[in-house]
């Protein structure tokens, strides 16, 4: 045997092995470097007890903070770009009142909506236990999804959705890192709100005795003005008590006509059955220069489920949370809090169009208020958490009677709502007050 040839082959093999080992080591370093996910400081969602992280780095772009969307949810978005092309989207979604659904069923529903195949990934334990799955689609762009679902307190729900192309290993690493970076604790103000709404509902007759009188409908008229005392709109609200028979408590009815600053006009009719804790609420809205109204109907049943039907979108089912209150009842609800030791609370204010607005309520010192009065008043500040900087200050006299409010919407002039007489509104607004459609008041 030629020992020189053998030595040459052995040397070549060693060199190849060294090159292979070096390449393997470099590839592992690249994978590890590429697999690292750097997180920013978790972004707080006011009133939710929740903070969710977002990836950060040269290739990551955050699309602002939490944003309120029309499906009654807050979202936090991030985007990863490589070579200017988006390759991964991250979406946190904090749902306020989605219909209750088992997490596994919800994952399957998300897969069906995407036209894909669900591969369950089990339960991710962390700050919030999250049920996860991967969705493979037949999308020609190669887009697939990772989805996680976590039920929270008071009917809330947190979802994490990552859409990605090609690199499923890295996407799952991002997913797991984000899920481990969430912070959550049960919000005490939300718990207090649920208790306060429950007490209000149980003692509805006592809290609303001044509003509902069997002998005649009670009325509330408010003029909406700017700080220069210029009329901008009005609220005309009436409260009825209807008895079906002598044995039954009957139904409560609240009708509202509302001319918003800007010209949008609406009418609503809310029927409440306090004994069954159900309601039916219909609303018609005419935007400026529109001849056809937008119609919405909300029906709440005894199973804490609401069905929203409109003439502009498909029917939707919503969950009625423990701290949810229809907007026409808000002044009466707050009046019941004025002379109590209740600290700051958060409730869900429900509008006739099916929008739910988390609202922080707190009695404030009159010196901190934007309103000045010659008589003693109590001021309750309502911060609407869906829009940063949006708030009202509701004004009550010492007997707890509602007097009006100071309204502030971001990037708009402040407005005042003041008690008014029907004749004053008629004189000021003329035909706009005497709208031809008076179905709610017949």
Distance of alpha carbon 315 from alpha carbon 303, whole angstroms: 18
> H or E segment at 173?
helix 168-180
**Residue 222 bridge partners (DSSP):** 235, 419
Parts of the chain belonging to CATH 2.60.120.1690: 34-186
Are 328 and 212 spatial neighbours (Cβ–Cβ below 8 Å)? no
Q: Name the residue with higher pLDDT: 29 or 227.
A: 227
pLDDT digits (tens, 9 = 90+) for 137-189: 987 777 999 999 999 999 999 999 999 987 889 999 999 999 999 999 999 99
3-state DSSP assignment of residue 432: helix
What contacts 123, CB < 8 A, 6 or more positions away? 129, 130, 131, 132
- pLDDT of residue 6 exceeding 50, the answer is no
User: Predicted confidence band at 10 (pLDDT cuts at 50, 70, 90)?
Assistant: low
Q: Among 58-72, 247-261, 353-367, name the one with the lowest average pLDDT.
A: 247-261
**Residue 212 bridge partners (DSSP):** none
Are 181 and 160 spatial neighbours (Cβ–Cβ below 8 Å)? no
Q: Name the residue with higher pLDDT: 403 or 250.
A: 403
Distance of alpha carbon 172 from alpha carbon 120, whole angstroms: 13
Res 78: pLDDT: 94
Distance of alpha carbon 361 from alpha carbon 338, whole angstroms: 11
Res 438: pLDDT: 44
Distance of alpha carbon 60 from alpha carbon 38, whole angstroms: 10
Strands 324-326 and 345-350: parallel
- pLDDT of residue 203 exceeding 70, the answer is yes
Q: Which fold would CATH assign to domain 34-186?
A: Jelly Rolls (2.60.120)
pLDDT digits (tens, 9 = 90+) for 414-427: 999 999 999 999 99
Res 439: pLDDT: 43
Taking Cα atoms as reference points, which of 404, 406, 399 lies closest to residue 368?
406
Q: Among 174-188, 240-254, 339-353, 416-430, name the one with the lowest average pLDDT.
A: 240-254
- pLDDT of residue 3 exceeding 60, the answer is no
pLDDT digits (tens, 9 = 90+) for 97-129: 999 899 999 999 999 999 999 999 999 988 999
The average pLDDT across 418-440 equals 80
Res 336: pLDDT: 87
pTM: predicted TM-score of the whole model, two decimal places: 0.87
User: Predicted confidence band at 292 (pLDDT cuts at 50, 70, 90)?
Assistant: confident
- pLDDT of residue 387 exceeding 70, the answer is yes
**Paired tokens of 52:** 């969710």
Q: Where are the alpha helices (DSSP H) in 58-133?
A: 103-114
Task: Label residue 245 exposed, middle or buried (CB < 10 Å: 0-12, 13-18, 19+).
Answer: exposed
**Paired tokens of 398:** 């010492």
Res 244: pLDDT: 61
Number of Cβ within 10 Å of residue 289's Cβ equals 6
User: Predicted confidence band at 266 (pLDDT cuts at 50, 70, 90)?
Assistant: very high
């Amino acid at each position: 045997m030629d020992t020189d040839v053998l030595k040459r082959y052995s040397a070549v093999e060693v060199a190849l092995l060294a090159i292979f080992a070096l390449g393997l080591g470099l590839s592992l370093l690249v994978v590890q470097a590429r697999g690292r996910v750097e997180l920013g400081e978790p972004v707080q969602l006011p009133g939710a007890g929740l903070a969710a992280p977002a990836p950060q780095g040269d290739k990551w772009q955050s699309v602002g903070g939490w944003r309120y969307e029309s499906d009654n949810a807050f979202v936090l978005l991030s985007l990863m770009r490589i070579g200017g092309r988006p390759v991964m989207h991250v979406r946190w979604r904090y749902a306020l009142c989605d219909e209750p659904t088992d997490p596994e069923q919800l994952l399957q529903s998300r897969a069906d909506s995407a036209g894909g195949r669900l591969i369950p990934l089990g339960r991710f334990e962390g700050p919030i236990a999250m049920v996860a799955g991967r969705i493979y689609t037949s999308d020609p762009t190669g887009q697939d999804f990772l989805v996680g679902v976590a039920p929270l307190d008071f009917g809330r729900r947190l979802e994490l959705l990552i859409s990605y192309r090609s690199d499923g290993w890295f996407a799952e690493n991002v997913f797991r890192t984000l899920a481990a970076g969430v912070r959550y604790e049960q919000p005490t103000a939300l718990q207090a709100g649920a208790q306060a709404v429950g007490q209000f509902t149980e003692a509805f007759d006592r809290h609303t005795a001044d509003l509902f009188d069997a002998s005649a409908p009670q009325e509330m008229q408010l003029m909406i003005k700017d700080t220069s005392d210029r009329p901008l709109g009005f609220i005309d609200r009436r409260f009825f008590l209807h008895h079906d028979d002598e044995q039954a408590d009957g139904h409560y009815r609240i009708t509202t006509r509302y001319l918003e600053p800007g010209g949008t006009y609406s009418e609503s009719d809310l029927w409440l059955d306090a004994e069954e804790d159900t309601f039916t609420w219909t609303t018609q809205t005419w935007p400026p220069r529109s001849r056809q109204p937008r119609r919405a109907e909300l029906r709440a049943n005894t199973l804490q489920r609401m069905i929203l039907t409109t003439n502009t979108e498909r029917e939707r089912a919503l969950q009625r949370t423990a701290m949810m209150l229809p907007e026409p009842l808000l002044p009466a609800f707050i009046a019941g809090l004025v002379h109590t030791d209740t600290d700051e609370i958060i409730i869900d204010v429900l509008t006739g169009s099916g929008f739910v607005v988390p609202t922080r309520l707190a009695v404030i010192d009159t010196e901190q208020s934007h309103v000045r009065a010659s008589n003693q008043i109590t001021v309750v500040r309502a911060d609407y958490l869906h829009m940063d900087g949006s708030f009202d200050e509701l004004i009550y006299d010492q007997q707890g009677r509602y007097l009006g409010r100071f309204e502030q919407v971001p990037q708009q002039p402040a407005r005042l709502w003041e008690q008014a007489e029907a004749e004053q509104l008629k004189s000021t607004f003329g035909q706009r007050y005497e709208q031809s459609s008076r179905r709610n008041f017949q």
